[in-house]
Structure 1
Amino acid sequence: MVGMCGRYATTVDPALLAVELDAIDETASAPPQPTERYNVAPTDPVLAVVARHDRAHPTDPPTRRIRRMRWGLVPPWTKAGEGGAPARSAPLFNARADTAATKPAFRAAVKTKRALVPMDGWYEWTAEPTAGGKVVKVPHFMTPRDGSRLFMAGLWSVWHDPASRPDASEPLLSCTILTTDAVGELASVHDRMPLILTPEHWDRWLDPDADVPADLLAGVDEQTAAGIEIRLVSDRVNSVRNDGPDLVTPAAPPGSAVGEQITLL
Protein backbone atom coordinates (compact mmCIF):
# COMPACT_ATOMS: atom_id res chain seq x y z
CA MET A 1 0.00 0.00 0.00
CA VAL A 2 1.21 3.51 -0.74
CA GLY A 3 -0.04 6.66 0.84
CA MET A 4 0.50 10.22 2.03
CA CYS A 5 1.64 11.56 4.26
CA GLY A 6 3.99 8.65 4.90
CA ARG A 7 6.55 10.49 7.03
CA TYR A 8 6.35 13.57 9.21
CA ALA A 9 8.03 15.50 12.01
CA THR A 10 6.60 16.46 15.38
CA THR A 11 8.35 18.10 18.33
CA VAL A 12 5.55 19.05 20.73
CA ASP A 13 5.43 17.73 24.28
CA PRO A 14 1.97 16.28 25.10
CA ALA A 15 1.77 18.20 28.38
CA LEU A 16 2.43 21.46 26.55
CA LEU A 17 -0.06 20.54 23.86
CA ALA A 18 -2.69 19.86 26.52
CA VAL A 19 -2.16 23.35 27.95
CA GLU A 20 -2.33 24.98 24.51
CA LEU A 21 -5.56 23.17 23.58
CA ASP A 22 -7.18 23.18 27.03
CA ALA A 23 -7.13 19.40 26.88
CA ILE A 24 -6.51 16.49 29.25
CA ASP A 25 -3.15 14.80 28.79
CA GLU A 26 -3.96 11.10 28.88
CA THR A 27 -0.42 10.07 27.87
CA ALA A 28 1.03 10.80 31.31
CA SER A 29 0.21 7.31 32.66
CA ALA A 30 1.78 5.51 29.69
CA PRO A 31 5.48 4.69 29.24
CA PRO A 32 7.34 7.86 28.18
CA GLN A 33 8.10 8.40 24.51
CA PRO A 34 10.49 10.84 22.81
CA THR A 35 8.75 14.17 22.28
CA GLU A 36 10.98 15.32 19.40
CA ARG A 37 10.61 13.06 16.39
CA TYR A 38 11.84 14.21 12.99
CA ASN A 39 11.16 11.01 11.04
CA VAL A 40 7.85 9.58 12.17
CA ALA A 41 6.82 6.55 10.10
CA PRO A 42 3.75 4.29 9.93
CA THR A 43 3.24 1.99 12.97
CA ASP A 44 5.11 4.48 15.22
CA PRO A 45 3.31 5.78 18.34
CA VAL A 46 2.02 9.29 17.68
CA LEU A 47 -0.03 11.96 19.44
CA ALA A 48 -3.67 12.51 18.52
CA VAL A 49 -6.28 14.94 19.85
CA VAL A 50 -9.82 13.63 20.37
CA ALA A 51 -13.00 14.87 22.07
CA ARG A 52 -14.80 12.41 24.36
CA HIS A 53 -17.41 12.39 27.10
CA ASP A 54 -16.41 11.59 30.67
CA ARG A 55 -17.62 8.07 31.47
CA ALA A 56 -18.63 9.14 34.96
CA HIS A 57 -20.55 12.13 33.61
CA PRO A 58 -21.77 11.14 30.13
CA THR A 59 -24.18 14.06 29.85
CA ASP A 60 -21.43 16.66 30.27
CA PRO A 61 -20.01 18.25 27.11
CA PRO A 62 -17.13 16.33 25.53
CA THR A 63 -13.62 17.42 26.46
CA ARG A 64 -10.46 17.45 24.39
CA ARG A 65 -7.97 14.72 25.25
CA ILE A 66 -4.40 14.03 24.16
CA ARG A 67 -3.82 10.35 23.48
CA ARG A 68 -0.97 8.30 22.09
CA MET A 69 -1.92 5.99 19.24
CA ARG A 70 -0.38 3.66 16.72
CA TRP A 71 -0.11 5.39 13.34
CA GLY A 72 -1.95 3.04 11.04
CA LEU A 73 -5.62 2.46 11.77
CA VAL A 74 -6.66 -0.99 12.99
CA PRO A 75 -10.42 -1.45 12.44
CA PRO A 76 -12.29 -2.95 15.44
CA TRP A 77 -13.19 -6.08 13.44
CA THR A 78 -9.55 -6.95 12.68
CA LYS A 79 -8.71 -10.54 13.65
CA ALA A 80 -6.06 -11.27 16.25
CA GLY A 81 -2.63 -12.52 15.28
CA GLU A 82 0.14 -13.93 17.42
CA GLY A 83 0.44 -12.86 21.04
CA GLY A 84 -2.95 -11.19 21.14
CA ALA A 85 -1.90 -8.46 18.71
CA PRO A 86 -3.82 -7.54 15.55
CA ALA A 87 -3.14 -9.75 12.55
CA ARG A 88 -0.38 -8.28 10.41
CA SER A 89 -1.57 -6.26 7.44
CA ALA A 90 -0.60 -3.15 5.49
CA PRO A 91 -0.92 -0.19 7.89
CA LEU A 92 -3.86 2.07 7.05
CA PHE A 93 -1.92 5.25 7.77
CA ASN A 94 -3.85 7.36 5.23
CA ALA A 95 -7.46 7.60 4.10
CA ARG A 96 -8.85 9.66 1.24
CA ALA A 97 -11.10 12.40 2.60
CA ASP A 98 -13.50 12.08 -0.32
CA THR A 99 -14.14 8.33 0.10
CA ALA A 100 -13.42 7.48 3.76
CA ALA A 101 -17.11 7.61 4.73
CA THR A 102 -17.88 4.77 2.31
CA LYS A 103 -14.89 2.51 3.01
CA PRO A 104 -15.47 -0.38 5.47
CA ALA A 105 -12.19 0.29 7.29
CA PHE A 106 -12.98 3.95 7.97
CA ARG A 107 -16.71 4.63 7.81
CA ALA A 108 -17.43 3.91 11.50
CA ALA A 109 -14.60 6.21 12.57
CA VAL A 110 -15.85 8.97 10.27
CA LYS A 111 -19.12 9.01 12.22
CA THR A 112 -17.89 9.29 15.81
CA LYS A 113 -14.10 8.97 16.06
CA ARG A 114 -12.46 11.95 14.38
CA ALA A 115 -9.11 13.28 15.53
CA LEU A 116 -6.48 15.94 15.01
CA VAL A 117 -2.88 14.83 14.42
CA PRO A 118 -0.35 17.55 15.34
CA MET A 119 2.87 17.89 13.36
CA ASP A 120 5.59 20.37 12.45
CA GLY A 121 5.44 19.32 8.81
CA TRP A 122 5.43 16.37 6.44
CA TYR A 123 7.78 14.91 3.84
CA GLU A 124 7.27 14.07 0.20
CA TRP A 125 9.59 13.14 -2.65
CA THR A 126 9.95 14.23 -6.27
CA ALA A 127 11.85 12.58 -9.12
CA GLU A 128 14.61 14.94 -10.31
CA PRO A 129 17.28 14.51 -13.05
CA THR A 130 20.94 14.98 -12.10
CA ALA A 131 23.67 16.56 -14.24
CA GLY A 132 24.68 13.08 -15.34
CA GLY A 133 21.20 12.29 -16.59
CA LYS A 134 20.27 10.01 -13.70
CA VAL A 135 16.89 10.46 -12.02
CA VAL A 136 16.89 10.53 -8.21
CA LYS A 137 14.18 10.84 -5.58
CA VAL A 138 14.56 14.17 -3.80
CA PRO A 139 12.96 14.71 -0.34
CA HIS A 140 11.04 17.87 0.56
CA PHE A 141 9.70 19.05 3.90
CA MET A 142 6.41 20.95 3.91
CA THR A 143 6.07 23.18 6.98
CA PRO A 144 4.34 26.47 7.93
CA ARG A 145 6.32 29.56 6.92
CA ASP A 146 5.54 31.20 10.26
CA GLY A 147 6.84 28.28 12.33
CA SER A 148 3.42 27.37 13.70
CA ARG A 149 2.12 23.85 14.26
CA LEU A 150 -0.10 21.97 11.81
CA PHE A 151 -3.12 19.90 12.78
CA MET A 152 -4.24 17.29 10.28
CA ALA A 153 -7.69 15.75 10.10
CA GLY A 154 -7.53 12.17 11.30
CA LEU A 155 -9.67 9.20 12.23
CA TRP A 156 -9.10 6.79 15.11
CA SER A 157 -10.17 3.39 16.31
CA VAL A 158 -10.12 1.12 19.36
CA TRP A 159 -9.14 -2.54 18.97
CA HIS A 160 -9.51 -5.33 21.54
CA ASP A 161 -8.24 -8.87 21.25
CA PRO A 162 -11.44 -10.81 20.40
CA ALA A 163 -10.23 -13.71 22.56
CA SER A 164 -9.96 -11.56 25.70
CA ARG A 165 -12.47 -9.70 27.81
CA PRO A 166 -12.49 -5.98 27.00
CA ASP A 167 -11.29 -5.24 30.53
CA ALA A 168 -8.60 -7.94 30.56
CA SER A 169 -6.00 -6.02 28.54
CA GLU A 170 -5.23 -2.54 27.35
CA PRO A 171 -7.01 -1.64 24.09
CA LEU A 172 -4.97 -0.68 21.06
CA LEU A 173 -5.67 2.89 19.94
CA SER A 174 -4.75 3.63 16.34
CA CYS A 175 -5.23 6.46 13.87
CA THR A 176 -4.99 7.46 10.24
CA ILE A 177 -4.45 10.82 8.52
CA LEU A 178 -6.87 12.04 5.86
CA THR A 179 -5.52 13.22 2.51
CA THR A 180 -6.99 15.48 -0.13
CA ASP A 181 -6.07 17.09 -3.46
CA ALA A 182 -2.94 19.22 -3.24
CA VAL A 183 -3.45 22.97 -3.64
CA GLY A 184 -1.28 25.67 -5.21
CA GLU A 185 2.48 25.17 -5.23
CA LEU A 186 2.10 22.01 -3.14
CA ALA A 187 0.76 20.29 -6.24
CA SER A 188 4.23 20.61 -7.78
CA VAL A 189 5.50 18.14 -5.18
CA HIS A 190 2.60 15.71 -5.31
CA ASP A 191 -1.07 15.72 -6.30
CA ARG A 192 -2.12 14.72 -2.75
CA MET A 193 -1.55 16.35 0.64
CA PRO A 194 -2.76 15.92 4.23
CA LEU A 195 -6.07 17.56 5.10
CA ILE A 196 -5.05 20.58 7.21
CA LEU A 197 -7.64 21.90 9.67
CA THR A 198 -7.31 25.41 11.06
CA PRO A 199 -8.38 26.28 14.66
CA GLU A 200 -11.83 27.62 13.83
CA HIS A 201 -12.80 24.16 12.57
CA TRP A 202 -11.42 21.98 15.36
CA ASP A 203 -14.50 21.82 17.59
CA ARG A 204 -16.82 20.89 14.74
CA TRP A 205 -14.42 18.25 13.48
CA LEU A 206 -13.86 16.62 16.88
CA ASP A 207 -17.49 16.69 18.07
CA PRO A 208 -18.41 13.02 18.67
CA ASP A 209 -22.13 13.82 18.82
CA ALA A 210 -22.40 15.46 15.40
CA ASP A 211 -22.30 14.09 11.87
CA VAL A 212 -19.08 14.55 9.96
CA PRO A 213 -18.88 18.17 8.69
CA ALA A 214 -18.98 17.53 4.95
CA ASP A 215 -17.60 20.97 4.13
CA LEU A 216 -14.42 20.21 6.08
CA LEU A 217 -13.81 17.16 3.92
CA ALA A 218 -13.89 19.29 0.76
CA GLY A 219 -10.17 20.13 0.88
CA VAL A 220 -7.60 22.75 1.90
CA ASP A 221 -8.21 26.39 0.96
CA GLU A 222 -5.63 28.28 -1.10
CA GLN A 223 -4.74 30.71 1.68
CA THR A 224 -3.83 27.88 4.04
CA ALA A 225 -1.82 26.12 1.34
CA ALA A 226 0.03 29.35 0.50
CA GLY A 227 1.30 29.48 4.09
CA ILE A 228 3.22 26.23 3.63
CA GLU A 229 6.90 26.36 2.72
CA ILE A 230 8.32 23.65 0.44
CA ARG A 231 11.83 22.98 1.72
CA LEU A 232 14.43 20.78 0.06
CA VAL A 233 16.04 18.61 2.78
CA SER A 234 18.69 15.96 3.26
CA ASP A 235 18.22 12.50 1.78
CA ARG A 236 19.05 11.12 5.23
CA VAL A 237 15.31 11.25 5.89
CA ASN A 238 14.85 8.35 3.47
CA SER A 239 15.95 5.91 6.17
CA VAL A 240 13.64 5.57 9.16
CA ARG A 241 16.74 4.80 11.24
CA ASN A 242 17.80 8.44 10.96
CA ASP A 243 16.35 11.11 13.22
CA GLY A 244 17.25 14.59 14.45
CA PRO A 245 16.71 18.26 13.58
CA ASP A 246 19.20 18.05 10.70
CA LEU A 247 16.53 16.18 8.73
CA VAL A 248 14.43 19.36 8.39
CA THR A 249 17.34 21.72 7.71
CA PRO A 250 17.38 23.20 4.17
CA ALA A 251 19.71 21.27 1.87
CA ALA A 252 21.15 21.50 -1.63
CA PRO A 253 19.88 19.10 -4.30
CA PRO A 254 21.57 15.74 -3.73
CA GLY A 255 23.81 14.33 -6.42
CA SER A 256 23.36 10.68 -5.50
CA ALA A 257 20.45 8.28 -5.44
CA VAL A 258 18.23 8.26 -2.38
CA GLY A 259 16.45 5.39 -0.72
CA GLU A 260 12.91 4.15 -0.81
CA GLN A 261 10.09 6.43 0.16
CA ILE A 262 6.36 6.38 0.66
CA THR A 263 4.23 8.37 -1.77
CA LEU A 264 0.69 9.65 -1.79
CA LEU A 265 -2.45 7.61 -1.78
Structure 2
Amino acid sequence: MCGRFVVANVGGELVGELRADLIADDLPEPSFNIAPTQQAAIVLDSSKTDPPTRRVEAARWGLVPSWAKDLSIGQRAFNARSDELPRKRMFAPALAKRRAVIPATGYYEWKTDENGKVPMFIHPASGDPMFFAGLYEWWRSPEEEWILSFTILTRSSVGDLGSIHDRMPVFLDADHADTWLDTDVDEPLDILGTAIDDAPRVAESFAWHPVDRAVGNVRNNGSRLIEPLTA
Protein backbone atom coordinates (compact mmCIF):
# COMPACT_ATOMS: atom_id res chain seq x y z
CA MET A 1 0.00 0.00 0.00
CA CYS A 2 0.99 3.64 -0.03
CA GLY A 3 -0.27 5.77 2.84
CA ARG A 4 2.27 8.62 2.89
CA PHE A 5 4.45 10.12 0.21
CA VAL A 6 6.84 13.01 -0.43
CA VAL A 7 6.83 15.78 -3.03
CA ALA A 8 9.96 17.87 -2.50
CA ASN A 9 9.56 19.92 -5.71
CA VAL A 10 6.59 21.38 -7.54
CA GLY A 11 5.75 22.65 -11.02
CA GLY A 12 7.92 21.96 -14.05
CA GLU A 13 10.77 20.61 -11.94
CA LEU A 14 8.48 17.79 -10.82
CA VAL A 15 6.87 16.82 -14.13
CA GLY A 16 9.40 17.84 -16.79
CA GLU A 17 9.61 14.36 -18.29
CA LEU A 18 5.84 14.22 -18.78
CA ARG A 19 5.71 17.29 -21.06
CA ALA A 20 2.76 19.05 -19.43
CA ASP A 21 0.99 21.72 -21.46
CA LEU A 22 -0.52 23.55 -18.49
CA ILE A 23 0.55 23.75 -14.85
CA ALA A 24 -2.02 25.08 -12.40
CA ASP A 25 -0.99 28.08 -10.34
CA ASP A 26 -2.54 26.69 -7.16
CA LEU A 27 -0.38 23.59 -6.70
CA PRO A 28 0.32 22.72 -3.07
CA GLU A 29 3.66 23.60 -1.54
CA PRO A 30 6.37 20.93 -1.24
CA SER A 31 5.55 18.42 1.49
CA PHE A 32 7.51 15.63 3.12
CA ASN A 33 4.48 13.96 4.69
CA ILE A 34 1.46 13.91 2.36
CA ALA A 35 -1.41 11.90 3.88
CA PRO A 36 -4.86 10.87 2.60
CA THR A 37 -7.37 13.75 2.26
CA GLN A 38 -4.51 16.21 1.69
CA GLN A 39 -3.73 17.96 -1.61
CA ALA A 40 -1.08 16.81 -4.09
CA ALA A 41 -0.20 17.50 -7.71
CA ILE A 42 -1.43 15.04 -10.33
CA VAL A 43 -0.99 14.87 -14.10
CA LEU A 44 -3.93 14.14 -16.39
CA ASP A 45 -4.90 14.45 -20.06
CA SER A 46 -8.11 16.39 -20.62
CA SER A 47 -10.14 14.64 -23.33
CA LYS A 48 -12.33 17.74 -23.75
CA THR A 49 -9.74 19.40 -25.98
CA ASP A 50 -8.46 18.26 -29.36
CA PRO A 51 -5.73 17.22 -29.06
CA PRO A 52 -6.03 16.43 -25.34
CA THR A 53 -4.33 18.93 -23.04
CA ARG A 54 -1.89 17.53 -20.52
CA ARG A 55 -2.40 19.35 -17.24
CA VAL A 56 -0.89 19.38 -13.78
CA GLU A 57 -3.60 20.02 -11.19
CA ALA A 58 -4.00 20.05 -7.43
CA ALA A 59 -6.18 17.16 -6.24
CA ARG A 60 -7.41 15.64 -2.99
CA TRP A 61 -5.89 12.26 -2.12
CA GLY A 62 -8.72 9.74 -1.80
CA LEU A 63 -10.98 9.05 -4.76
CA VAL A 64 -14.50 10.49 -4.54
CA PRO A 65 -16.71 9.12 -7.36
CA SER A 66 -19.30 11.37 -8.97
CA TRP A 67 -22.17 9.44 -7.33
CA ALA A 68 -20.85 9.82 -3.76
CA LYS A 69 -23.05 11.59 -1.23
CA ASP A 70 -20.11 13.26 0.51
CA LEU A 71 -16.32 13.37 0.65
CA SER A 72 -15.97 10.75 3.38
CA ILE A 73 -15.84 7.85 0.91
CA GLY A 74 -12.44 9.09 -0.23
CA GLN A 75 -10.89 8.42 3.17
CA ARG A 76 -10.85 4.69 2.40
CA ALA A 77 -10.10 4.98 -1.33
CA PHE A 78 -6.62 6.49 -1.26
CA ASN A 79 -5.30 3.22 -2.72
CA ALA A 80 -6.92 0.91 -5.28
CA ARG A 81 -5.89 -2.71 -5.78
CA SER A 82 -4.99 -2.87 -9.46
CA ASP A 83 -6.18 -6.47 -9.87
CA GLU A 84 -9.69 -5.51 -8.71
CA LEU A 85 -10.26 -2.35 -10.77
CA PRO A 86 -12.47 -3.80 -13.53
CA ARG A 87 -14.86 -5.31 -10.95
CA LYS A 88 -15.21 -2.26 -8.70
CA ARG A 89 -17.97 0.25 -9.36
CA MET A 90 -15.87 2.94 -7.72
CA PHE A 91 -12.87 2.51 -10.02
CA ALA A 92 -13.91 0.90 -13.32
CA PRO A 93 -15.26 4.09 -14.99
CA ALA A 94 -12.11 6.04 -14.11
CA LEU A 95 -9.91 3.26 -15.46
CA ALA A 96 -11.57 3.68 -18.86
CA LYS A 97 -11.08 7.44 -19.28
CA ARG A 98 -9.72 9.14 -16.17
CA ARG A 99 -6.23 7.83 -15.58
CA ALA A 100 -3.69 9.99 -13.77
CA VAL A 101 -0.01 10.00 -12.93
CA ILE A 102 1.04 11.10 -9.46
CA PRO A 103 4.63 12.40 -9.39
CA ALA A 104 6.58 12.06 -6.16
CA THR A 105 10.04 12.25 -4.69
CA GLY A 106 9.44 9.01 -2.82
CA TYR A 107 7.09 7.35 -0.35
CA TYR A 108 7.06 5.80 3.10
CA GLU A 109 6.32 2.23 4.06
CA TRP A 110 6.41 0.65 7.49
CA LYS A 111 8.51 -2.49 7.92
CA THR A 112 7.79 -4.78 10.85
CA ASP A 113 10.82 -6.18 12.66
CA GLU A 114 11.80 -7.12 16.21
CA ASN A 115 11.61 -3.44 17.17
CA GLY A 116 8.06 -3.02 15.91
CA LYS A 117 7.12 -0.98 12.86
CA VAL A 118 9.96 1.02 11.37
CA PRO A 119 9.19 3.64 8.67
CA MET A 120 11.28 3.34 5.50
CA PHE A 121 11.72 6.07 2.90
CA ILE A 122 11.70 4.53 -0.60
CA HIS A 123 12.88 6.61 -3.55
CA PRO A 124 14.68 6.43 -6.93
CA ALA A 125 18.42 6.15 -6.24
CA SER A 126 19.06 8.60 -9.09
CA GLY A 127 17.07 11.38 -7.47
CA ASP A 128 14.69 11.49 -10.44
CA PRO A 129 10.95 11.78 -9.83
CA MET A 130 8.93 8.67 -9.04
CA PHE A 131 5.65 8.18 -10.92
CA PHE A 132 2.62 6.33 -9.52
CA ALA A 133 -0.21 5.06 -11.71
CA GLY A 134 -3.49 6.50 -10.49
CA LEU A 135 -7.09 7.36 -11.31
CA TYR A 136 -8.98 10.61 -10.85
CA GLU A 137 -12.57 11.77 -10.55
CA TRP A 138 -14.50 15.05 -10.36
CA TRP A 139 -17.14 15.38 -7.63
CA ARG A 140 -19.69 18.17 -7.33
CA SER A 141 -20.44 19.19 -3.76
CA PRO A 142 -23.87 20.33 -2.51
CA GLU A 143 -22.39 23.85 -2.55
CA GLU A 144 -21.73 23.50 -6.31
CA GLU A 145 -17.97 23.22 -5.81
CA TRP A 146 -16.07 20.88 -8.13
CA ILE A 147 -13.49 18.77 -6.29
CA LEU A 148 -10.78 16.80 -8.08
CA SER A 149 -9.61 13.66 -6.27
CA PHE A 150 -7.33 10.71 -6.98
CA THR A 151 -6.23 7.27 -5.87
CA ILE A 152 -2.89 5.46 -6.22
CA LEU A 153 -2.91 1.95 -7.69
CA THR A 154 -1.17 -0.86 -5.85
CA ARG A 155 -0.06 -4.40 -6.62
CA SER A 156 1.65 -7.25 -4.77
CA SER A 157 5.26 -6.54 -3.88
CA VAL A 158 8.08 -8.55 -5.40
CA GLY A 159 11.83 -8.64 -5.00
CA ASP A 160 13.49 -6.69 -2.22
CA LEU A 161 10.49 -4.42 -1.71
CA GLY A 162 8.57 -7.51 -0.65
CA SER A 163 10.72 -7.65 2.50
CA ILE A 164 9.30 -4.28 3.54
CA HIS A 165 5.59 -4.71 2.76
CA ASP A 166 3.41 -7.12 0.79
CA ARG A 167 1.91 -4.30 -1.34
CA MET A 168 3.56 -1.57 -3.39
CA PRO A 169 2.37 1.19 -5.74
CA VAL A 170 2.17 0.54 -9.47
CA PHE A 171 5.28 2.43 -10.56
CA LEU A 172 5.64 3.90 -14.05
CA ASP A 173 8.65 5.08 -15.98
CA ALA A 174 8.26 8.20 -18.15
CA ASP A 175 7.37 6.23 -21.30
CA HIS A 176 4.71 4.13 -19.61
CA ALA A 177 3.39 7.22 -17.84
CA ASP A 178 2.83 8.81 -21.24
CA THR A 179 0.86 5.77 -22.42
CA TRP A 180 -1.08 5.56 -19.16
CA LEU A 181 -2.34 9.11 -19.66
CA ASP A 182 -3.48 8.56 -23.26
CA THR A 183 -7.26 9.08 -23.38
CA ASP A 184 -7.52 7.51 -26.86
CA VAL A 185 -6.55 4.03 -25.69
CA ASP A 186 -9.32 1.57 -26.62
CA GLU A 187 -8.23 -1.24 -24.31
CA PRO A 188 -7.43 0.17 -20.86
CA LEU A 189 -7.09 -3.33 -19.45
CA ASP A 190 -4.12 -3.86 -21.73
CA ILE A 191 -2.22 -0.82 -20.50
CA LEU A 192 -3.21 -1.69 -16.93
CA GLY A 193 -1.72 -5.14 -17.36
CA THR A 194 1.45 -3.69 -18.85
CA ALA A 195 1.81 -1.22 -16.00
CA ILE A 196 1.30 -3.92 -13.36
CA ASP A 197 3.81 -6.25 -15.02
CA ASP A 198 6.45 -3.54 -15.52
CA ALA A 199 6.31 -2.01 -12.04
CA PRO A 200 8.89 -4.45 -10.56
CA ARG A 201 11.40 -3.47 -13.27
CA VAL A 202 10.94 0.22 -12.47
CA ALA A 203 11.42 -0.53 -8.77
CA GLU A 204 14.82 -2.14 -9.40
CA SER A 205 16.39 1.32 -9.43
CA PHE A 206 14.98 2.32 -6.03
CA ALA A 207 16.83 2.73 -2.76
CA TRP A 208 15.51 2.97 0.80
CA HIS A 209 16.55 3.62 4.36
CA PRO A 210 14.89 3.79 7.79
CA VAL A 211 13.69 7.18 8.99
CA ASP A 212 12.44 8.66 12.24
CA ARG A 213 9.05 7.54 13.56
CA ALA A 214 8.06 11.22 13.58
CA VAL A 215 6.70 10.67 10.08
CA GLY A 216 3.84 8.74 11.66
CA ASN A 217 2.30 12.01 12.87
CA VAL A 218 0.70 13.91 9.98
CA ARG A 219 1.46 17.21 11.71
CA ASN A 220 5.19 16.65 11.27
CA ASN A 221 6.80 17.88 8.07
CA GLY A 222 10.12 19.02 6.71
CA SER A 223 13.13 17.48 4.99
CA ARG A 224 14.37 15.96 8.25
CA LEU A 225 11.68 13.29 7.86
CA ILE A 226 13.51 11.66 4.94
CA GLU A 227 16.96 11.78 6.50
CA PRO A 228 18.45 8.34 7.27
CA LEU A 229 17.90 7.21 10.83
CA THR A 230 21.14 7.18 12.79
CA ALA A 231 21.83 4.62 15.48
The alignment's TM-score, normalised by the length of structure 1, stands at: 0.80
Which residue pairs with 1:174 in the alignment?
Answer: 149
- Return closer, same or farther for 1:71/1:101 CA change in 2, 3 Å cut-off: same
- Please say if 1:52 is aligned against 2:46: yes
Shift of 1:128: 2.0
Greater CA drift, 69-78 or 86-95? 86-95
- Bigger proportion of residues as helix: 2
| Alpha-carbon distance in structure 1 between the residues aligned to 2:85 and 2:195 | 10
Structure 2 partner of 1:99: 84
Moved more, 190-199 or 209-218: 209-218
Cα distance change on mapping 1:219 and 1:20 into 2, 3 Å? closer
Equivalents in 2 of 1:177, 1:119: separation in Å?
12
Number of the residue aligned with 1:257: none
After superposition, what is the alpha-carbon deviation per residue over 1:26-62, rounded to whole angstroms, capped at 9, x for unaligned? 421x3x631x210000000011000113x4xx4x221
Query: How far apart are residue 199 of structure 1 and its match?
Result: 1.2
The alignment yields a C-alpha RMSD, in angstroms, of: 1.9
Q: Distance in 2 between matches of 1:87 and 1:18?
A: 29
From 35, 46, 63, the equivalent of 1:73 is 63
3-state SS, counterpart of residue 96 of structure 2:
helix
Q: 1:179 to 1:15 in 2, by over 3 A?
A: same
* Bigger share in strand: 2
Structure 2 gaps of 5+ residues are none
Query: Is the contact made by 1:180 and 1:220 (CA closer than 8 Å) also made in structure 2?
Result: no
In the alignment of these two chains, the number of paired residues is 228
C-alpha distance in structure 1 between counterparts of 2:120 and 2:166, whole Å: 14
Letter of the structure 2 residue corresponding to residue 124 of structure 1: E
| Cα separation, partners in 2 of 1:221 and 1:69, compared to 1, 3 Å | closer
CA drift at 1:123: 0.6
Unaligned runs of 5+ in 1: 81-85, 130-134, 254-265
2:180 maps to 205
Q: Deviations over 1:133-179 (max 9, x none)?
A: xx421110111111111010000000013x56xxxx33110000000
Q: Which position in structure 1 is the counterpart of 2:52? A: 62
Cα pair 2:37 2:74 within 8 Å, conserved = no
Pairing 1:183-198 to 2, within 5 Å after superposition? 183-198=158-173
SS at 1:173's partner residue?
Answer: strand
Give the AA of the match of 2:223: P
CA distance in 1, matches of 2:132, 2:72: 27
Asked whether the 8 Å contact 2:136–2:149 carries over to 1, the reply is: yes
TM-score normalised to structure 2 length:
0.91
- Correspondence for 1:127: 112
Q: Larger C-alpha radius of gyration, 1 or 2?
A: 1
